[in-house]
């Protein structure tokens, strides 16, 4: 079975820390490419995460932000605590049913484009808390882009998840958020 | 010196054979009374100068599904702070009509504890000023700690019943 965490070994994975610039036409002193790619490049390397940490996954996230693992290397230097400024909602830890409206409210307060990362077994599926009071995965209330497995995941896994998010952001079409499919997705969660 | 025996004697003097089932598990005096008497017993334990059980440590319920006619127990944990003595007092009620008088007039701290007990066991505390759910979501339509309800979340379809003991 493939390991859930990919390592950044050049040539062995499709995830690379150091990437060449986007495809384009280059000459002396200029470089031409499509707007999509430039915007994607800018967005993906300056993600502002909003940590929504409720339990032990939050502790692992703190380690990820610390000097040893240092998420800042990936352009997520600033962890914002206002949903209105942030691009990436990181839900880390058990979300009780009573907490669900709060998570949804935070998601709604974020401006488009916004992404969601569910970190750990609890946020992804309820985890070991198969019980009447716990939400069985935050994807019951908000759309999730990347799930990070683990209980709790190691900081490497969090970084892997962030790189996956970066990959999604970099490849996202500028028109995606206006598309019919995206509207349907939002409507399926009762948003707008 | 306030001993379990003196507490027991005073209770029997006051309430006769209506207080019964005296036990001392781990040295803690435990007894029960009919549910209609719960406030009278609590008031007596509170007012008496020597007993002076004036702190309600905890209040909760227990569900005994096989105990016909007295399925639900409401348990009061009382503390005499000056003598540092604790006792436990139980009343039993039938599950069809789980009405018990509220102790909020005597102990302000009973307010949230009774709401919690109502939330999880559905005990209807008569006279409670604000008897509504406190910990669970308001939309919940059952009392999750009653034993007829499964503990597991029932909306899940992706878990293998064999592996999760359903």
Tell me, what's the pLDDT at A127?
A: 86
- Give the largest CA-CA distance in chain A: 64
**Alpha carbons within 13 A on the beta-carbon side of B30:** 11
Domain of residue B61, CATH code: 3.30.460.80
Whether residue A98 and residue B136 make contact (CB cut-off 8 A), yes or no, is: yes
Domain assignment of residue B154, yes or no: no
Whether residue B144 and residue A132 make contact (CB cut-off 8 A), yes or no, is: yes
pLDDT, tens digit only, all 192 positions of chain A: 565 566 656 666 665 555 567 788 888 988 898 998 889 989 989 999 999 999 999 999 999 999 999 999 888 888 888 999 999 999 999 999 999 999 999 999 999 899 999 999 999 988 888 888 999 999 999 999 999 999 999 999 999 999 999 989 988 988 899 999 999 999 999 887
Whether residue A132 and residue B155 make contact (CB cut-off 8 A), yes or no, is: no
Residues 69-98 of A with CB under 8 A from B: 97-98
Tell me, what's the pLDDT at A1?
A: 52
Domain assignment of residue A183, yes or no: yes
Query: Which residue would you say has higher pLDDT here, B159 or B71?
Result: B71
Q: Which of B144, B149, B155 is opposite residue A136, by nearest beta carbon? A: B155
Tell me, what's the pLDDT at A80?
A: 86
Domain assignment of residue B151, yes or no: no
Is B58 within 8 Å of B79 (Cβ atoms)?
A: no
SS3 A91: strand
Tell me, what's the pLDDT at B8?
A: 93
Domain assignment of residue B156, yes or no: no
Structural domain containing residue A175: 51-188
pLDDT tens-place string over residues B106-144: 999 999 999 999 999 999 999 999 999 999 999 888 999
Residue B28 clears pLDDT 60, i.e. is over it: yes
CA of B110, closest CA in chain A: separation in Å? 23
Q: Does A8 touch chain B (CB under 8 A)?
A: no
pLDDT confidence bin for B12, thresholds 50/70/90: very high
Tell me, what's the pLDDT at A15?
A: 58
Tell me, what's the pLDDT at A120?
A: 92
pLDDT confidence bin for B155, thresholds 50/70/90: confident
Tell me, what's the pLDDT at B6?
A: 92
Domain assignment of residue B162, yes or no: no
Whether residue A131 and residue B153 make contact (CB cut-off 8 A), yes or no, is: yes
First to last CA, chain A: 40
Domain assignment of residue B113, yes or no: yes
Domain assignment of residue A95, yes or no: yes
Residue in A with minimal Cα distance to B158: A125
Structural domain containing residue B47: 4-145
Residue in B with minimal Cα distance to A135: B153
SS (H, E, C) A17-86: CCCCCCCCEEECCEEECCHHHHHHHHHHCCCCEEEEECCHHHHHHHHHHCCCCCHHHHCCCCCCCCHHHC
Number of domains in chain B: 1
Domain assignment of residue B103, yes or no: yes
Domain assignment of residue A34, yes or no: no
Residue B29 clears pLDDT 60, i.e. is over it: yes
CA of A134, closest CA in chain B: separation in Å? 8
Domain of residue A84, CATH code: 3.40.50.12280
Number of domains in chain A: 1
Tell me, what's the pLDDT at A26?
A: 86
pLDDT tens-place string over residues A15-29: 555 556 778 888 898
Q: Does A133 touch chain B (CB under 8 A)?
A: yes
Question: Residue A89: beta bridge partners?
Answer: A50, A116
């Amino acid at each position: 079975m493939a390991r859930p965490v990919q390592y950044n070994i050049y040539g062995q994975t499709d995830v690379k820390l150091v990437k060449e610039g986007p495809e384009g036409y280059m000459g002396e002193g200029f470089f031409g490419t499509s707007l999509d790619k430039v915007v994607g490049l800018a967005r993906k390397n300056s993600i502002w995460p909003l940590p929504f940490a409720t339990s032990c996954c939050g502790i692992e996230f703190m380690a990820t932000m610390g000097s040893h693992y240092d998420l800042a290397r990936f352009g997520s230097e600033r962890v914002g605590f206002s949903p209105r400024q942030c691009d990436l909602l990181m839900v880390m830890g058990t979300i009780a049913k009573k907490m669900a409206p709060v998570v949804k409210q935070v998601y709604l307060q974020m401006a488009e484009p916004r992404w969601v990362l569910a970190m750990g077994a609890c946020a992804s599926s309820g985890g070991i808390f198969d019980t009447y009071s716990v939400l069985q995965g935050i994807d019951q209330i908000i759309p999730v882009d990347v799930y990070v497995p683990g209980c709790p995941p190691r900081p490497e896994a969090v970084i892997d998840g962030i790189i996956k998010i970066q990959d999604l952001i970099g490849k996202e079409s500028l028109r995606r958020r206006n598309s019919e499919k995206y509207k349907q997705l939002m409507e399926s969660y009762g948003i707008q | 010196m306030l001993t379990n025996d003196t507490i027991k004697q005073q209770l029997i003097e006051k309430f006769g054979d209506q207080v019964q089932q005296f036990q001392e598990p781990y040295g803690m005096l435990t007894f029960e009374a009919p549910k209609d008497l719960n406030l009278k017993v609590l008031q007596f334990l509170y007012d008496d100068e020597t007993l002076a059980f004036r702190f309600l440590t905890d209040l909760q319920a227990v569900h005994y599904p096989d105990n016909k006619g007295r399925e639900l127990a409401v348990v009061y944990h009382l503390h005499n702070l000056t003598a540092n003595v604790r006792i436990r007092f139980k009343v039993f009620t039938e599950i069809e009509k789980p009405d018990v008088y509220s102790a909020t007039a005597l102990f302000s701290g009973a307010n949230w504890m009774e709401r919690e007990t109502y939330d999880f066991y559905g005990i209807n505390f008569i006279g409670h000023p604000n008897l509504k759910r406190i910990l669970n979501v308001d939309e919940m339509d059952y009392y999750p700690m009653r034993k007829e309800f499964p503990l597991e979340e029932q909306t899940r379809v992706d878990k293998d019943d064999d592996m999760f003991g359903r």
